[in-house]
Amino acid sequence: MAIREIIRMGHPTLRQVAQPLSVDELTSDEIRELVMDMVDTLHDAGGLGLAAPQVNRSVRLAIIEIPGGTTRYGVIPPMPLTVFVNPVIEVVDAASAGYWEGCLSIPGLRGFVERPQHIIVRAHDLAGRSFQLELKDFLATVFQHEFDHLDGRLYVDRIEDSRNLVYEDMLDQHEAPGKRSIE
Ligand code: NI
């Protein structure tokens, strides 16, 4: 197990469409090691999720772990550390809401992004078994942010008004009322 380098915006791997993983690949030592290292890397960096392209491996795999609890954007339901392989998102309701998003590949910045708030995620686990989750509100945003990485997309691509891209320390001092942040 090891902490890997998180590549930052500007690295070409973050802009590639990542490759799906077959069941054979999933059970390989290389992918098991990648997942263990991603867990270490996420815990070291302190984010909610990490996608494989962020550690310079262009495969459709991401991990998400949400401690939950009461935050300034409301009460967030916890989610234990979960591995998502080849995830697909279905939008149930296109009604959108926005949050100030951050990204471990874009340190120091925050962007206000609106996304649909009711989705279904279908994915496979590390054994190749399929599962699905229905997600609303904050969690729907977190998953869309994370899985965008697998398509070479970053949250900055989804900011509609460039005035909504700011430094997080400035945001902390001057946060506009009514806009919620994702840590
Ligand atoms: Ni990100």
Q: pLDDT tens digits for 85-120?
A: 999 999 999 999 999 999 999 999 999 999 999 999
Chain segment 42-58, per-residue pLDDT in tens = 999 998 999 999 999 99
Count of positions (residues) in the chain: 183
Predicted confidence (pLDDT) at residue 171 exceeds the cutoff of 60: yes
Q: What is the mean pLDDT of residues 175-183?
A: 61
Distance 169 CA to ligand 1 centre (A): 18
Q: Which residue has the tokens 């995830």?
A: 87
Residues lying with their CB under 5 A of ligand 1, a single-atom ion: 103
Torsion of CA 151, 37, 7, 171, to 10 degrees: 90
Active site residue 160: no
Q: What is the mean pLDDT of residues 142-148?
A: 97
For the record, the structure tokens of 37 come out as 């290292």
- Tell me the average pLDDT of the chain: 93
pLDDT of 70 reads 77
Which of the four pLDDT bands, split at 50, 70 and 90, describes residue 15?
A: very high
Q: Report, in this order, helix, strand and coil percent for the chain, each rounded to 5.
A: 30, 35, 30
